[in-house]
Amino acid sequence: MKSQHIIHLEDPAMPDSAEGWVARLASPDVTGAQIAAFEAWCEANPDNRNDYVRVERLHTRVRELSRDALIGAAARAARRDGAAGRTRRLRPLAWAAAAASIALVALTATVQWRAEPAQRYDTRVGERREILLDDGTRAVLDTNSAIAVRYGADRRALTVERGRVEIDVAAQPGRPFVTYAANSTINDIGTRFQVAHAADHVLVTLLEGEVSIATPESGAAPTVLQPGAQARVDARGGIAASAADLDAANGWTRGELVFKNRALADLVAEMNRYAIAQIRLGDRALDGIAVSGVFHAGDQDALIKALESGWSLRADRVSDREIVLRAPPRR
């Protein structure tokens, strides 16, 4: 499984040198997870970012020297062509020089933008936080979530590093907003949507507007979502779209967990995200229980009381960090 939920700096798939990162970030197929790994590499050692900037500048200078030589050769060829006949078209070498110059400018701008330090925001376990970003975009971070935001003159990017976030994008024509999560790239147009970054998948839920979701590894065409739809992206880049539970999607931003005939195990897993003490199902008989209701995120006591009264379950607190739910004794 290609999990990119946690970045390991020793991962052989990720560069471990400034030279390697210059090459990786210059690739048109760079992913959000790789950008997050680059940021982690820079933060791991204060010298890493300086080394990267130094190497990137050296590479840029080498390209400039190569470009100057190519342009010089093209100019000499053009002069020769002019002497032979003023009406002759510019030879392919001159066109190649011009194209190389344009490509170099675009590449250098892209690499330098990706090297800019990101603004980082996070939440602790049990915390929910609303942030107004510099461009007017609003982000709501759920419990134990983290994002990194980077702005450039002609683009905006947000990486969901962990957890769940709702993003209400401020429309800025000509300055697109791109969201990265693991192997997913999400492009939007004046949109309100949610991204949940789990260990083995990414879930994108569209509330307003329109988004397209792409996974470079899969090579498939982007999936376009309409309001009320969601897409689950697995670790291999497969995308499966379906109807979203909008009550549940809107509920967590208010601190509510809305469940409609869903497995008890799902409710427990969701509640555990908001607390240090973890609830565990102690009997296999509980696997088939379906629950419905609105529960306050992080209020374990209220949940346990509801399960005890509504489903006759018994809760045993075995330690400060573990609560075991058991089925009622048979009579």
Condensed to tens digits (0 to 9), the pLDDT of residues 44-66 reads 776 777 667 666 656 554 444 44
Task: Spell out a b/e string for 169-178, using b for 16 or more CB atoms within 10 Å of the CB, else e.
Answer: beeeeeeebe
- Alpha helices, DSSP H only, in 220-286? 246-251, 264-272
pLDDT, mean over the chain: 79
255-326: CATH topology is: Phage tail protein beta-alpha-beta fold (3.55.50)
- Residue 185 or residue 16, greater confidence: 185
Are residues 164 and 140 in contact, defined by beta-carbon separation less than 8 angstroms? no
How are strands ordered across the β-sheet holding 278-281? 278-281, 322-326, 314-319
> How do residues 130-168 score in pLDDT, each as one tens digit?
999 999 999 999 999 999 999 988 889 999 999 999 999
Domain spans of the chain? 18-115, 119-247, 255-326
Residue 52 CB burial class (10 angstroms; 0-12, 13-18, ≥19): buried
Query: Structurally, what CATH architecture does the domain formed by 119-247 represent?
Result: Sandwich (2.60)
> How do residues 257-306 score in pLDDT, each as one tens digit?
999 999 999 999 999 999 999 999 998 888 889 999 999 999 999 999 99
* 330: confidence class by pLDDT, cuts 50, 70, 90: confident
What's the CA gap between 102 and 116, in Å, rounded?
Answer: 22
> How do residues 111-135 score in pLDDT, each as one tens digit?
444 445 789 999 999 999 999 999 9
Determine the average pLDDT of the residues in 238-252.
Answer: 95
Whether the per-residue pLDDT at 186 is higher than 70: the answer is yes
- Residue 230 or residue 105, greater confidence: 230
Residue 267 phi, psi dihedral angles, 5° rounding: -65, -45
CA–CA distance from 58 to each of 98, 218, 279 (Å)?
22, 34, 54
What pLDDT, on a 0 to 100 scale, did the predictor assign at position 219? 77
